């Protein structure tokens, strides 16, 4: 609304505007690629994960929650002006939301009075959809359930934005900071804007250790600019009459002095804004560093990451970590224990963490979990251990479902081809290393990655598929698109996590970096082409990849609300008492 008002004044067309309607405003866009429900911070908004998982929740309250989600997602796609293809797991709240959204989008298409999705075709028969060429690729909407990965909401974060959110409880891109770590009364609020704040825009999703260097570089830049402006001022304020006469001559002739003066005047507002942002991040980074040192958040983050990757940490036993008084608060230790308890291997042995295999996958047995829980309770008697009861029930359900997530390894044929490429000895192929390297993403990010690739026979083929644009068959299904998806909107029902959001953005950046790398590799190969058979194989692989990668990827993340770990822990406490 502010941008519309400003543009109307600039174009002198305010008199042409008679009335303004607020429509499809059921979501709040926190970033260009992040949104939440519009009423997520209102007093009437329910604790979404608790409401979904609580067995005593009324049917009306669950329906109301689903309707809020559907209305928000409908508003998102009405704003974008595109119809998504929807995927979701079966038999949970995500499927219910997907079914209702599919129905609502179909109703919008059938409404002759609606201008929504006017750039899309009407609902068509799906009989020839497999042969249909779509000029503009439609986005993929993936609706997931927070219960699919509880660890992400409890994990000690390490990216700049997630730390700010988790430690200082930022709301709607606004954070309240004390003047010093020891003062809690003298608090000042700051806006965190990617539009105006260069440091925040470039480093919000980066590891915190990169922030101090970025702040120092900004300090050096502003100091250099201050020196340049100071020297320019001295040249104008010179006492020599000859110097003043020469300077006036330069200004009259339009020489270097006047151009520097004009440039300094024009850049002064931008420099003042950068100085304001620098002061904010200097204070923010200092306060975060003090909290990190006091609670050892860097160690806890690294330890949890190993657990979440299925590794058994060799340096520190879990009991030692929980028993060390320097490792965070009692709540921090409970979060570590819960993250550890949620890691179940596909073939959980009776040995648990006491096994002797060097390749052992970390998994706590029930007896070990009881022992560690009792030890933590004895050291921290004031700690509410109710979340552990809920996690115990979750572990039982995970064992009953018994659907292990296993990464598919590359075939021997691919390995043979790659070995031949490496043996070719071309320095151009060094870039392939990052392309074939397997990076460890969080659970929901791995699901998103596979669904975006849309390959057949993947482990998520059983996910429901909805296409509001196609007529359903008699059995209720529609033909599936075989295209790979470049644009994806991910919505997590039950609360989002900045750590998970940044992991999705990391996937997006990695996929786009692979595209750039392969384009560069193809250009290099074309420049150094030879009749050798190996070169033709390389060109064939690159051509195949480029054919499957027509454009860059874009991932948008959304949820009912963006929860801090403490807020999510409170919902687990309520669930543990039920």
List the pLDDT tens digit at each of the 578 positions of the chain: 778 888 999 999 999 998 888 888 899 999 999 999 998 877 666 789 999 999 999 999 999 999 999 999 999 999 998 999 999 999 899 999 999 999 999 998 887 676 677 655 444 444 444 433 333 579 999 999 999 999 999 999 999 999 999 999 999 999 999 877 666 667 899 999 998 899 999 999 999 999 999 999 999 999 998 888 777 766 666 544 455 555 555 544 555 656 766 777 778 888 999 999 999 999 999 999 999 999 999 999 999 999 988 787 766 789 999 999 999 999 999 999 999 999 875 444 334 443 334 445 678 899 999 999 999 999 999 999 999 999 999 998 888 775 444 344 334 444 443 343 334 434 333 443 344 345 689 999 999 999 999 988 778 889 999 999 887 765 667 778 888 899 999 999 999 999 999 999 999 999 998 888 887 777 777 776 655 444 444 344 344 343 434 578 999 999 999 999 999 999 999 999 98
Give DSSP secondary structure letters for 507-526: HHHHHHHHHHHHHHHHHHHH
Q: Say which residues have a Cβ less than 8 Å from residue 84's Cβ, sequence separation at least 6.
A: 77, 105, 138, 139, 140, 141, 468, 489
CATH fold of 158-295: Syntaxin Binding Protein 1; Chain A, domain 2 (3.90.830)
The pLDDT, as a whole number, for residue 183 is 65
- Alpha-carbon gap, residue 35 to 191, rounded angstroms: 17
Q: With contact defined as beta carbons under 8 Å apart, do 562 and 173 qualify? A: no
- Alpha-carbon gap, residue 32 to 76, rounded angstroms: 12
- What is the strand order of the sheet 464-466 is part of? 27-31, 34-37, 554-559, 487-493, 140-145, 85-88, 464-466
The two three-digit tokens of residue 577, written as one number = 């008492």
- Alpha-carbon gap, residue 469 to 193, rounded angstroms: 37
Q: What is the 3-state secondary structure (H, E, C) of 445-493?
A: HHHHHHHHHCCCCCCCCCCEEECCCECCCCCCCCCCCCCCCCEEEEEEE
The pLDDT, as a whole number, for residue 119 is 59
CA-CA distances (angstroms) from residue 351 to 357, 361, 363, 365, 370? 10, 11, 9, 8, 15
Q: With contact defined as beta carbons under 8 Å apart, do 362 and 317 qualify? A: no
- Alpha-carbon gap, residue 528 to 523, rounded angstroms: 9
pTM exceeds 0.85 for this model: no
The pLDDT, as a whole number, for residue 35 is 97
CA-CA distances (angstroms) from residue 105 to 98, 109, 114? 10, 6, 11
Please report, for the chain, the start and end positions of each structural domain, with discontinuous segments joined by +.
158-295, 298-341+346-401
Number of other residues whose CB lies within 10 A of the CB of residue 384: 17
CA-CA distances (angstroms) from residue 463 to 9, 92, 157? 49, 11, 29
* Residue 534 region by backbone torsions, left for phi larger than 0, else alpha for psi between -120 and 50, else beta: alpha
The two three-digit tokens of residue 399, written as one number = 């064992």
Number of other residues whose CB lies within 10 A of the CB of residue 86: 25
CA-CA distances (angstroms) from residue 94 to 52, 67, 97, 113, 148? 10, 12, 5, 30, 11
Q: What are phi and psi of 37, to 5 degrees?
A: -65, 145
The pLDDT, as a whole number, for residue 335 is 98
Q: With contact defined as beta carbons under 8 Å apart, do 434 and 517 qualify? A: yes
């Amino acid at each position: 609304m502010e941008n519309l008002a400003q543009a109307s004044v600039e174009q002198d067309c305010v008199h042409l505007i008679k009335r303004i309607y607020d429509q499809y405003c059921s979501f709040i866009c926190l970033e260009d690629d992040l949104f939440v429900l519009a009423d997520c911070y209102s007093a009437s908004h329910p604790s979404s994960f608790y409401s979904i998982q609580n067995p005593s929740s009324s049917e009306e309250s669950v329906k109301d929650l689903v309707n809020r989600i559907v209305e928000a997602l409908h508003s998102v796609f009405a704003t974008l002006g595109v119809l998504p293809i929807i995927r979701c797991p079966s038999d949970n709240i995500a499927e219910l939301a997907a079914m209702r959204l599919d129905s609502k989008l179909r109703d919008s298409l059938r409404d002759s009075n609606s201008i929504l999705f006017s750039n899309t075709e009407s609902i068509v028969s799906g009989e020839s959809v497999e042969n249909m060429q779509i000029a503009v690729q439609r986005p993929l909407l993936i609706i997931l359930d927070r219960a699919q990965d509880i660890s992400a909401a409890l994990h000690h974060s390490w990216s700049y934005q997630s730390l700010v959110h988790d430690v200082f409880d930022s709301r709607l891109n606004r954070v309240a900071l004390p003047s010093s770590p020891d003062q809690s009364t003298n608090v000042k609020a700051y806006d965190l804007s990617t539009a105006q704040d260069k440091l925040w825009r470039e480093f919000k999703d980066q590891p915190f250790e990169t922030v101090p260097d970025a702040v120092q570089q900004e300090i050096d830049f502003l100091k250099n600019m201050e020196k340049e402006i100071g020297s320019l001022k001295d040249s104008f304020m010179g006492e020599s009459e000859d110097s003043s006469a020469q300077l006036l001559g330069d200004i009259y002739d339009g020489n270097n002095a006047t151009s520097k003066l004009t440039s300094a005047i024009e850049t002064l507002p931008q420099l003042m804004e950068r100085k304001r942002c620098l002061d904010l991040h200097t204070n923010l980074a200092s306060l975060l560093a003090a909290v990190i040192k006091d609670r050892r958040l860097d160690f806890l983050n690294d330890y949890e990451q190993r657990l979440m990757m299925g590794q058994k940490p060799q340096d520190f036993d879990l009991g030692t970590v929980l028993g060390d008084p320097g490792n965070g608060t009692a709540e921090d230790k409970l979060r570590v224990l819960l993250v550890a308890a949620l890691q179940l291997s596909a073939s959980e042995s009776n040995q648990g963490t006491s096994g002797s295999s060097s390749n052992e996958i970390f998994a706590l047995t029930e007896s070990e979990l009881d022992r560690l829980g009792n030890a933590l309770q004895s050291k921290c008697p004031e700690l509410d251990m109710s979340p552990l009861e809920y996690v115990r029930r979750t572990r039982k359900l995970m064992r009953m479902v018994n659907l292990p997530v296993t990464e598919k390894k590359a075939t021997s044929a691919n390995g043979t081809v790659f070995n031949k490429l490496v043996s070719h000895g071309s320095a151009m192929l060094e870039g392939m290393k990052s392309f074939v390297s397997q990076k460890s993403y969080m659970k929901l990010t791995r699901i998103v990655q596979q669904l975006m690739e849309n390959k057949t026979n993947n482990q998520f083929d059983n996910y429901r598929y909805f296409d509001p644009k196609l007529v359903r068959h008699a059995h209720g299904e529609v033909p599936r698109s075989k295209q790979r998806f470049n644009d994806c909107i991910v919505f997590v029902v039950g609360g989002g996590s900045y750590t998970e959001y940044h992991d999705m953005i990391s996937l997006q950046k990695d996929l786009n970096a692979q595209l750039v790398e392969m384009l560069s590799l193809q250009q290099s190969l074309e420049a150094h082409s030879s009749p050798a058979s190996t070169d033709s194989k390389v060109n064939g692989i690159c051509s195949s990849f480029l054919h499957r990668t027509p454009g860059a990827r874009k991932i948008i993340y959304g949820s009912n609300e963006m929860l801090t770990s403490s807020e999510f822990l409170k919902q687990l406490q309520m669930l543990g008492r039920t």
